[in-house]
Structure 1
Amino acid sequence: MKEIQDIVRAFDAAQREGKQTALATVVHVQGSSYRRPGARMLVTEDGQLTGAISGGCLEGDALRKARLAMMQQKAMFVTYDTSDEDDAKLGVGLGCNGIIQILIEPINPESPSNPLSFLQAFLSRRQHAVLVTLFSLDYQAKEQPGTCLFMSEAGKLVGEHSDEHLQKALVADVQQVLQTRTSVTKTYATPQTALTGFVEILKPAVSLVVFGAGNDAVPLTEMAAILGWQITVVDGRANYATAARFPAVQRVLVAKPEQVLPQLELDEQTVLVLMTHNYNYELAMLRQLLPLQLSYVGVLGPKKKLERLLDELEEEGLQLNEEVLKNLYGPVGLDIGAETSEEIALAILAEIKAILSKRAGTFLRDKVGVIHSREQAEIKQVTLK
């Protein structure tokens, strides 16, 4: 998400300076690679790079090809194969033992269907969206359709393909991806040709709500800002909850517990951390938050404190079954031996990332199998009339 934000900002700056740009997108990966499908990099005509498509080994070659794409005003499909000795001779040296396929598209700002206009539309509203990028795997030298369709949760479709049967199939898959929140890669075959589509889910930035404006909340907000998360700080103390103390956050709310929820937009990408050091404030907030079954609610402090809070809520008659408590985390954070407020912030953010990614937060060294799922490497094929 932060990568998209950075790319859009860089594109806006390039437009003001009258520079040509091209967008490189990882559209398919087989085997191991540093970045996965959906990774992007914006290239300007004078060689400025924003975003990344690898750990640094592809960027130089991609820059040269992007300049060629800008000069020709033609999309280019590029494959980097680590099993190919020629790649090593060229100095690519991936070291990942995978095949990375990248589409490089020159950006025409005059076209309402250019990839950057779609990314700008995505960032304009806090909603999930789907982006479709079409390319030819079998005939890489032929014309590449590129990014062609965009749809947000609001249901408005932007862009179209001239083949009505392909358009119909793409729209159906876009709607399915919006429902499942999972990207798919599929080849759409006709008697004349075959195009592969990367139907990509775009998720809004994580929205982090921090209850508590003490000194220990400062590094948490600063680190979350580096990740590109949208941050709100809430506290009942006006002298603590100030924009001057939290320059990295989008919103600072001074509010009593009963005033907070009406001012928040809660969705599946919203996570909340209670670190007010005020027992009664957190009791009042948990009373409201737990029935909502949010993605993540973390409570700073010892386990005994949380147990006391839950006991008191249960005595009040709040039903605290497994479903209600499954996304409550306290003591908050991964067990990394954190002591300082900065280390605690790191532990909290790592736990949140693991939960949102549906990972256990364990050592990669001990992981059995591959780091990333290989499901996206599987390309389904459908035959169109």
Structure 2
Amino acid sequence: MNEINEILDAYKKASKANIRTALATVVKVEGSSYRRPGARMLVTETGQLTGAISGGCLEGDALRKALTAIHLQENRLVTYDTTDEDDAKLGIQLGCNGIVYILFEPLKPENENNPIAILSEVAGKREDAAIAVLFSLGGQQHTGTKFLLKSKNQFKNIPSFFNSNIEADLREVILTQTSVFKSYTCHNQPVTAFLEFISAPIAVVIAGAGNDAQPLAQMCHLLGWQVTVVDGRPAQATKQRFPTADDVLVAKAREVDLIKSDAHTAFVLMTHNYNYDVELLGRLLTTNTPYIGSLGPKKKLLKMLDELGLDTEPNRQRVHGPIGLDIGAETAAEIAVSIVAEIKAFFAGAAKEPLKDKVLPIHQHVGL
């Protein structure tokens, strides 16, 4: 979500300066590639790039392709094939041994349902969403980013001649939380649709405004997560100490659980105040908060659970304490890396194993 927000900000600046733009989207990948379908990059006619569609090897050529799309004011699908070992033929030295399909869409401000409007809808509220990007691998039917479905409302711009089950398919994408490819027909021609699942961003509530919470708040912000810092000490919980946090609150433990949470919310208990942590933990365990992390040794967590009369195996499994992955962390910044890694792995359903030990591909391929 952070990349989408950066693209939206860059588009606003370009529009204000009357600079034309195009959106480049990775819509399909065969084999290995640095970025997967759904990666996006905004290109301005002045050559400014925001976002990324590769590790840097495609951006130079993509800039030229985007400028052509802006000049012609039409969508273009470009294929980069590096399955041939002699990738110097392309002059871009991808080295990923894959085929990458990128759709370039010139953005037209007069079109109120252009791709930027759809991305704005995605970023506007904390809701899971599904986007349809339509293109043709063998023709010219590159309809582009034209449909968005959210759990509570829908926003569509599908041509009347486009007959398909796309809405039902998008609902299935949200239900399964899995991106897929589907085939449809447009003007009696086959069209491929990348139906992308976009999860609501993770929200992290950091209970504790000590110095060790500062790098954690900064790292969460860099990932595009929504960050709330809360502490009972007015001198500690200040915007000056946590400038990147979305909210900084001074509140007692009994008030913290009033903070709105959802299926993508993580609470981190790191106040270094036992009474504050134990009261907050007791309140959180009565909610459906999916992730609760407790800084400190396991014996501290077990003592808190016992004091609360909640020392059960399900609660031991539910609370991540000591919080974080074992990476040998010592400093506040290293501990923050450990915590962020565990939260990311938890919400991604990842196995938390070294990538070199993975048997399957790093990225899960979406189904055809």
Do the two structures share a fold, i.e. TM-score over 0.5? yes
Deviation track 1:211-240 (CA, whole Å, cap 9, x = no partner) reads 001111111111111112110001111111
Map 1:132-151 → 2, pairs under 5 A: 132-139=132-139, 142-151=140-149
Q: Matched residues, percent identical?
A: 50
Alpha-carbon distance, 1:151 to partner: 2.0
Query: Which digits, 9 at most, give the CA deviation of each residue in 1:46-68, with x for residues without a partner?
Result: 11000000001111111100000
> Quick one: which amino acid aligns to residue 373 of structure 1?
Q
Maintained 8 Å contact 2:214/2:241: yes
Matched, 1:341 2:336: no
In structure 2, do the counterparts of structure 1 residues 325 and 28 end up closer, same or farther at CA, with 3 Å as the change threshold?
farther
Confirm whether residue 161 of structure 1 aligns to residue 159 of structure 2: yes
Across the aligned residues of Structure 1 and Structure 2, the Cα RMSD in angstroms comes to: 1.6
Aligned partners of 2:55 and 2:89: how far apart in 1? 18
- Between stretches 302-311 and 79-88, larger displacement belongs to 79-88
CA drift at 1:325: 4.3
Structure 2 gaps of 5+ residues are none
The equivalent of 1:313 in structure 2 is 308
- Equivalent residues of 1:127, 1:203 under 8 A apart: yes
What residue number does 1:127 align with? 127
Matches within 5 A, 1:80-229: 80-84=80-84, 87-139=87-139, 142-163=140-161, 165-166=163-164, 169-189=165-185, 192-229=188-225
1:297 aligns with 2:288: no
Alignment of 1:236 onto 2:232: yes
Cα distance in structure 2, aligned partners of 1:179 and 1:232: 28
Is this contact kept in 1: 2:324–2:341, CA < 8 A?
yes
Comparing 43-52 with 149-158, greater Cα deviation is found at 149-158
Q: Which residue of 2 aligns with 1:28?
A: 28
CA deviations on 1:296-317 (whole Å, 9 max, x unpaired) are: 2110001110111111222xxx
Secondary structure (helix, strand or coil) at the match of 2:117 reads helix
Task: Find the aligned partners of 1:28 and 1:164 in 2 and give their Cα distance.
Answer: 21
Which residue number in structure 2 is paired with residue 382 of structure 1? none
Structure 2 residue 362 is the aligned partner of structure 1 residue 366: no
**Structure 1 alignment gaps of length 5 or more:** 380-385
Q: Which amino acid letter does the alignment assign opposite residue 119 of structure 2?
A: L
| TM value normalised by structure 2 | 0.96
- Distance in 1 (alpha carbons) for counterparts of 2:288 and 2:329: 28
C-alpha change, 1:280 and 1:205, in structure 2 (3 Å) is: same
Please tell me whether the aligned partners of residues 290 and 325 of structure 1 are also in contact (alpha carbons under 8 angstroms): no
- Give 3-state SS (helix, strand or coil) of 2:163's partner: helix
Deviations 1:193-218 (A, max 9, x none): 11111111222221110000111111
Aligned length: 368
Matching of residue 282 in structure 1 with residue 274 in structure 2: no
Match of 2:322 in 1: 331
Dislocated runs of 4+, deviation >3 Å: 84-87, 318-321, 324-327
Distance 2:151 2:313 in 1: 32
* Change in 2 beyond 3 A, CA 1:307/1:319: closer
Alignment of 1:235-274 (within 5 A): 235-262=231-258, 264-274=259-269
Does 1 or 2 have the higher relative contact order (CA < 8 Å, sep 6+)?
1
CA shift, 1:86, in A, is 7.5
Aligned AA (1:63): L
